[in-house]
Amino acid sequence: MRKRFLIGLGAVLLAGTAIAVGSRVTSAQQPAPPAGTAVTLTRADSVRLEGPRQPIFFRHDVHAGQLKMQCQYCHYSVSYSSEPGIPSMQTCMGCHMYVSGSTPTNKAEIRKLTTAWGKKQPVQWIRIHELARHVHFPHSRHIFALGPDACATCHGNIARMPQVYKVNNVNNMGFCITCHIERKVTRDCSTCHY
Amino acid sequence: MADEAETQGVDRRQFLKVIGVSGAGAAVLSGCTTERVAKLVPYMVQSEDQVPGVPTWYASTCAECSSGCGVYVKTREGRPIKLEGNPDHPTNAGSLCSRGQAGLQSLYNPDRIKGPMARNAKGEFDLIKWDDAIARLAAKLSSAGGKVAAINGYGASTFSTFLADYVTALGGTTVAYEPFGREAERTANDRTWGKAELASYDFGAARHIVSFGADFLETWGPVVEQQRGFAASHGFHDGTMARMVFVGPRMSLTAANADEWLNVPAGSEALVALAMAQVVASRKGSPLAASLASYTPDAVAKDTGLTAAQITALAEAFAAASPSLAIAGGIPAQHRGAIELCQAVNLLNEAAGNIGRTVLFGTTVGGSDGYASMVSLFDKMGQGSVQVVLVHDANPLYAMPKDGKFAAAFAKVPFKVSTAAIIDETAAQCDLILPSLHALERWDDLHTRAGVTGLMQPVVQPVFQGMHFGDVLLKAAKTIAGPVAKFNDASFEARLKSAWQKVAAEQKAGDFDEFWRMALGRGGLFAPMAPAPQFPASKGAVSYTKPTFDGTGDYVFLPYPSSMYHDGRGTNKPWLLENPDPITKITWQSWVEMHPDTAAKIDVREGEIVELHSPHGMIRSQVYIYAGIRPDTMAMPLGLGHTAYGRYAKDRGVNALDLLGAADGQGFLPYVSTRVSVTRTEDYRKVARVDGMPRQLGRGIVQSMALMYAAKGMTPEEAYKAGGRAPVEENTELEQKAIEGWHDAQLENTKVGNYTGDHPKWGMAVDLSRCTGCSACVTACYAENNIPTVGEEQVFRRREMSWLRIERYWEGGEANEPLGVRFAPVMCQHCNNAPCEPVCPVYASYHTVDGLNGQVYNRCVGTRYCSNNCPFKVRYFNWLKYNDVAWPEPLNLQLNPDVTVRARGVMEKCTFCVQRIRAVQNTARIEGRDFKDGEIMTACAQACPSGAISFGNINDPAAKVVQWKKDPRGYVMLEGTNVQSSVTYLAKVLHDAPVAGRGES
């Protein structure tokens, strides 16, 4: 845990100086800001962004885009488990014990996290991608085949999303099968359905 | 999908904090929509050893019976979901019986109480706080003035020692109680050799086994170990196999696995043993011969119903085998002559020179105080000389006959405490209930054999607000102080560790922490068995007196322990209720067994309700007509007829103990000690049987062959012809041509698309000469595959869901042929020419590239054509919303997240545990290697105590399953249907001729 925290803190410090102030984006289209930067958004903006509002306005575009944190830093079990793993509150606090945000919105949202941590109450995130229960999708096997940056194949470019939304309907079997046919891998039903 | 079930499958209340991220828990097969809002709840602090989606295994010990088998607990996201045997444990070596596996259903039992309860002024139970409960206990213990008694059903352990010390310090007494306590054997061993201890038996080494009533494959002794040994010796191997003979009035599962069943009247088994001992002793010139001189086969023949020639032949075969093994004991032989019987068998073993070879002493530990101690304790209660009674892990008011008026004596105790987690008959009469923790929730140990102690560790947060009774007593000690002030450990865990520090010192372990960690990881301390080398010669002979029976009825009443319910503790688990009795195939009910001749005489048919009257009581139950019982005997399974103990057990069936007298017969409860009379009633109740046709009718489903042919390496068909029987009907030339053409056409279709390239091909082999029909595989299948239990009403409609069932067929039994039984586990045969596949209109039933007969639940629309076309009846239709009723919370926490829970309207079936195959394939691929043979194991093969099932890739010539399939005994079921099944059965091997035969009668 400690090691992971140090790596994360390092990543934050390296990139932390480059907070750019972009134009305010209000459309749901979310045009991409220049690489390595992120737009400044307030909590109120999250209403207009695509995807469900989360209890904390967690910015994947800041963490994965601007700070270039690896997906697997938080989604730690994706390479060896069927489940990608949702970061524990402790993982968040590893950095946010020290990083309290620069803008009022950031400060307010991070305070929500620290308050929840203090009350020992986990944040209940709204789930965006959920497979039907009769489908078994081993994340690990796909990361193994497609590489550690393959997340975008299904989830879209999360690093550009201030608020995560569903780019592909992962519950549509055609979406899975198209890829499996293209890559000439198994299409056997019992690969996923059992 | 037809069904839009909304249940979430996973209890999101208590467990959430532990489970954390488990969005993908095993939930109902919901539709294809995800419109509902699902939450992702992270852990606060990630546990180091829990990764979502990856099972974590812990070593622990099974506490479902006194065998104390080692278990591996498979947990997912903090929930135990399956119990498997610990391969390192000397008792069970990796396998586990049905009762052990069903331990999960006592962990997650929906009837566990939510916290401590106290009786209020109105006589009802109120939930109270733990502090309050402990304060009440402490107050009563302080003021009891030493008049404290404890009844402890838990085996030898740190806890039991602690409880006894604690009660002694308070001035009271503790009785260690186990309903099936084997007191008669202890007494007999004391009388024979001056050693009041139990023996261990090496079934694996024995070449000739004779059991006098001991049901060693069901409830008598460490059954998993005994079954493994029995399969090793009695299973056909290297051209030979051991012989087994069963002597007793009823054909139990154990007797059904014997080569011969000699149905002597209850109480006369000892005569057979004595006569055998006499013959063996005189043949071997043993000094015992003189004292046994009066028990010649001729002298005993009349009372046993056998001929002298039969007994002599049996004795000579027994003497000729080296080593041999005779055993006695168990409930079906616990009549008033049980001690004499065990003594007689001791002499037989000694005469045959088995002591120290197959009968091993110096290995067992502990043991209960016996029935007599319980009776005297209840006498004390009745006299008012007990102020406080503590009942731990025992249910005496159920397990002791009502005739003894024990409940009235119990009621005279002013303050009664039970630690039952589910309110059972005893707890219902108590004033305070302090629900204890399940074995998977607590720190504990269990000392089962010299050098073998199993450890338990908490692998799950307590499901309800229970507390280890050790912790309760330690907390109470702080209040009571005085004599118990010395029990000042911080917690029971600390006490356990300090006890183990002594063990570590004995083992000369340097660092205790290291020793403790290793012991926990391994599951305990397992030293190899070291039997006592020196043994005293036996003292004197046996004086046989005919055991007496209460009453004057026409029939001897034989209550026998069920292999599922044991002494009644299994009856609250739906898996054990639904898993049919291996012999009668009856589920969810109790029944009276009577011989067909008896039934004809009193004019009753199956299902008719009769009244059985004994001097001690009366019970009503339906009739099951069974040829495997003497016409002068009626039998009934024990373990049912609870008046409390949760929704599954309460008011289910009748309690056979109601017919028994409670009088202590020389230190034990004589179960077989009454005669009953039968009266008919006008009532009828359908028997919830799951078997179909009782006989094979020449279909060759469960095949067998004689040893002489098997030893020559013949196939079952060659053996059949060599046996001079009518030739098997063969296909005409035209039919043969049609079959071949069709098969080739089928193969043509498999050379396209996905089906090209190298794939493994899964196959299975089942050795029927090892299978005993115990049904552990069935429970394993229920646990692994989220199979719902359907209940009695649905079984009436033949809607049971067991993907894997044990077929039981009767052989002989008529025209002077001995009655025989054939067992075979029948699961989906994964036909390569499967009749179910072409009839599915939606391709839900199809063939996978790796040779499985796949079933895609989300495609299935429920036409049931596939089931109609299946020659094996292994496809099961989900008729109702079983998923809503089969797992009331928190039973649903046991569900395997890797297997879809099927909804109504879906056909389901054995998948060869495809989830296990895929899991290993995924791991192997990520690790950049091929899976190894034996790495992929189906749940049934894993659980089998006999090691009768082998599974693997049949394209791998080195695989074990391929070696098994090459065995000449191999055959496929219903070969004439040309379904090309993937399961090979190895024919059962029978001895060429019986040693004792049928006699003249």
**Partners of B617 in beta bridges:** B614
From the list B44, B852, B914, the residue facing A90 with the nearest CB is B44
What is the per-residue pLDDT for A3?
47
Is B167 within 8 Å of B178 (Cβ atoms)? Answer: no
Distance of residue B855 Cα from the nearest chain A Cα, in angstroms: 8
Determine the straight-line distance between the first and last CA of chain B, rounded to whole angstroms: 63
Which residues lie below 8 Å from residue B814, measured CB to CB, with a gap of 6+? none
Backbone angles phi, psi at B57, to 5 degrees: -110, 135
Angstrom distance (rounded) from CA B424 to CA B392 = 12
Q: Is residue B249 classed as helix, strand or coil in its secondary structure?
A: coil
- Inspect the interface and report whether the beta carbons of A87 and B753 lie closer than 8 Å: no
Give CA–CA dist A16/A35, Å, rounded: 14
CB of B42 less than 8 A from some CB of A? yes
pLDDT per residue as tens digits for the range B741-773: 766 666 666 666 677 778 899 999 999 999 999
Q: B132: which 2 tokens?
A: 């309050």
Number of neighbouring beta carbons within 10 Å of residue A39: 20
Give B682's pLDDT tier (boundaries 50, 70, 90): confident
Q: Do A141 and B34 touch (CB under 8 A)?
A: no
pLDDT at residue number B814: 76
Report pLDDT digits (tens) over B583-641.
Answer: 999 999 999 999 999 999 999 999 999 999 999 999 999 999 999 999 999 999 999 99
CB B624 within 8 A of CB B606: yes
What is the per-residue pLDDT across B940-952, written as a single tens digit (0 to 9) for each?
999 999 999 999 9
Average pLDDT, integer, range B247-258:
94
Distance CA B808, CA B829 (A): 17
Check if the beta carbon of residue B898 is closer than 8 Å to that of residue B9. no
Instruction: Give the position of tokens 């249940």.
Output: B7
Bridge partners (DSSP) of residue B389 are B149, B416
Is the Cβ–Cβ distance between B198 and B384 less than 8 Å?
no
What is the Cα–Cα distance from B343 to B251, expressed in whole angstroms?
23
pLDDT band for position A23 (cuts 50, 70, 90)? very low
| Residue B913, phi-psi category: left (phi > 0), alpha (psi -120 to 50), beta (remainder) | left
pLDDT score at B717: 86
Q: Does A2 touch chain B (CB under 8 A)?
A: no
Mutation test of the interface with chain B: which of A123, A165, A188, A192, choosing the one with the most B Cβ atoms within 10 A? A188
What pLDDT was estimated at residue B997?
Answer: 57
**Helices of type H across B927-998:** 939-943, 960-965
Quote the percentage of chain B above a pLDDT of 70: 94
pLDDT the model gives residue B728 = 61
Mean pLDDT of chain B: 89
Rounded to a whole number of angstroms, the distance from the CA of B33 to the nearest CA of chain A is: 7
Return the ∠ at Cα B887 (arms to B882 and B890), rounded to 5°.
160
3-state secondary structure of B781: helix
Contact assignment for A189 to B848 by CB distance below 8 Å: yes
- For chain A, how long is the longest CA-to-CA vector? 52
Residue B286 confidence (pLDDT) above 90:
no
- Are A115 and A56 in contact by the 8 Å Cβ rule? The answer is no
Helix runs in B321-370, H state only: 338-351
CB B609 within 8 A of CB B590: no
CB contact under 8 A, A89 and B846: no
Q: Find all residues with CB under 8 Å of B992, minimum gap 6, and list them.
A: B706, B707, B708
Q: Do A130 and B44 touch (CB under 8 A)?
A: no
Residue recorded with tokens 């050379």: B751
CB contact under 8 A, B51 and A81: yes
Distance CA B572, CA B104 (A): 12
pLDDT score, position A18 = 34
Taking CB atoms and an 8 Å cutoff, what residues of chain A touch B918?
136, 138, 190-191, 194
Find residue B635's DSSP bridge partners.
B558, B593
> Which amino acid does the sequence have at B594?
M
* Residues 894-953 in B contacting A (C-alpha not used; CB under 8 Å): 898-901, 911, 914-915, 918, 922, 925-926
Q: Which residues of chain A are within 8 Å of residue B33 when distances are taken between CB atoms?
A: 171
User: In chain B, pLDDT over 90 holds for what percent of residues?
Assistant: 72
Cα–Cα distance measured from residue B473 to residue B525, given in angstroms and rounded to the nearest whole number: 26
Around Cβ A133, how many Cβ atoms within 10 Å?
23
Contact between B424 and B650 under an 8 Å Cβ cutoff? The reply is no
Rounded to whole angstroms, how far apart are CA atoms A35 and B970?
Answer: 67
Contacts 24+ apart (CB under 8 A), B731-738: B731/B976
CA distance B137 to B131: 10
Local structure of residue A64 (DSSP, 8 states): I
For residue B1000, is pLDDT > 50?
no
Structure tokens given for B861: 């629309």
Residue in A81, A122, A194 nearest the CB of B900: A194
Whether chain B has a CB inside 8 Å of the CB on A52: the answer is yes
Q: Between chains, do B51 and A77 touch, taking CB under 8 Å as contact?
A: yes
Q: Which two tokens stand for residue B501?
A: 């520090």
Measured distance CA(B919)–CA(B937) in Å, rounded: 11
Mean pLDDT (whole number) for A133-159: 91
Q: Which two tokens stand for residue A77?
A: 């079990």
**Whole-prediction pTM:** 0.90
Average of per-residue pLDDT across B197-207: 92
Buried b / exposed e over B520-557, threshold 16 CB at 10 Å, is bebbbbbeebebeeebeebeebbebeebebbbebebbb
Task: Say yes or no for a CB contact (<8 Å) between B26 and A133.
Answer: yes
DSSP A52: P
> What is the DSSP-derived secondary structure letter of residue B923?
H
A22 has a pLDDT exceeding 50: no
Helix (H) or strand (E) holding B984: strand B983-986
What span, in angstroms and rounded, lies between the C-alpha atoms of B910 and B907? 11
- pLDDT level of residue B382 (50, 70, 90 thresholds): very high
Q: Which H or E run includes B452? A: strand B452-456
**Calpha distance A178→A182 (Å, rounded):** 6
Distance CA B424, CA B939 (A): 32
| Average confidence (pLDDT) over B782-808 | 93
Cα–Cα distance for residue pair B987/B997, rounded to 1 Å: 23
Task: Say if the Cβ atoms of A190 and B914 lie within 8 Å.
Answer: yes
State whether residue A133 sits within 8 Å of chain B by CB: yes
Helix axes A89-96, A104-119, angle to 10 degrees: 130
Contact between B29 and A83 using a beta-carbon 8 Å cutoff? no
Give the pLDDT mean for B479-496.
91
pLDDT for residue B540: 67
The answer to whether the Cβ–Cβ distance between A89 and B53 falls below 8 Å is no
**Distance set, CA B496 to CA B64, B279, B446, B482 (Å):** 20, 52, 11, 23
User: Residue B501 is which amino acid?
Assistant: Q
Q: Across-strand partners of B676?
A: B555
Q: Whole-angstrom Cα distance, residue B936 to residue B914?
A: 10
Q: Strand B608-614 vs strand B674-684: parallel, antiparallel, or unpaired? A: antiparallel
Calculate the CA dihedral of residues A178, A181, A184, A188 and round it to 10 degrees: 100
H helical segments located in B699-759: 707-711, 716-722, 733-748
| Closest residue, chain B, to A53 (C-alpha) | B37
Split at pLDDT 50, 70, 90, the class of A31 is low
DSSP conformation class of B998: -
How much is the ipTM here? 0.83
Please compute the mean of the pLDDT values over residues A55-64 and round it to a whole number: 92
pLDDT over 80 at B374, yes or no: yes
Segment among B204-208, B260-264, B692-696, B981-985 with least mean pLDDT = B692-696
Interface test with A, best of B914, B918, B927 (most A CBs within 10 A): B918
Q: Which residues of B touch A90 (CB under 8 A)?
A: 43-46
Compute chain B's Rg from CA coordinates: 29
Overall average pLDDT of the A54-81 stretch: 92
Is the model's pLDDT at B306 over the cut of 50?
A: yes
**Alpha-carbon distances, residue B759 vs A5, A186, B447, B849 (angstroms):** 44, 11, 48, 7
Are B41 and A124 a contacting pair at CB < 8 A? yes
Is the Cβ–Cβ distance between B490 and B478 less than 8 Å? no
Contact pairs from chain A to chain B, CB under 8 Å: 146
| H/E stretch holding B499 | helix B492-506
Using the predicted structure, report yes or no on whether residue B1001 has a pLDDT greater than 70.
Answer: no
Neighboring chain A residues of B30 at a CB cutoff of 8 Å: 132-133
Could you tell me how many residues make up chain A?
Answer: 194
Helices A139-146 + B914-926 axis angle, to 10: 30
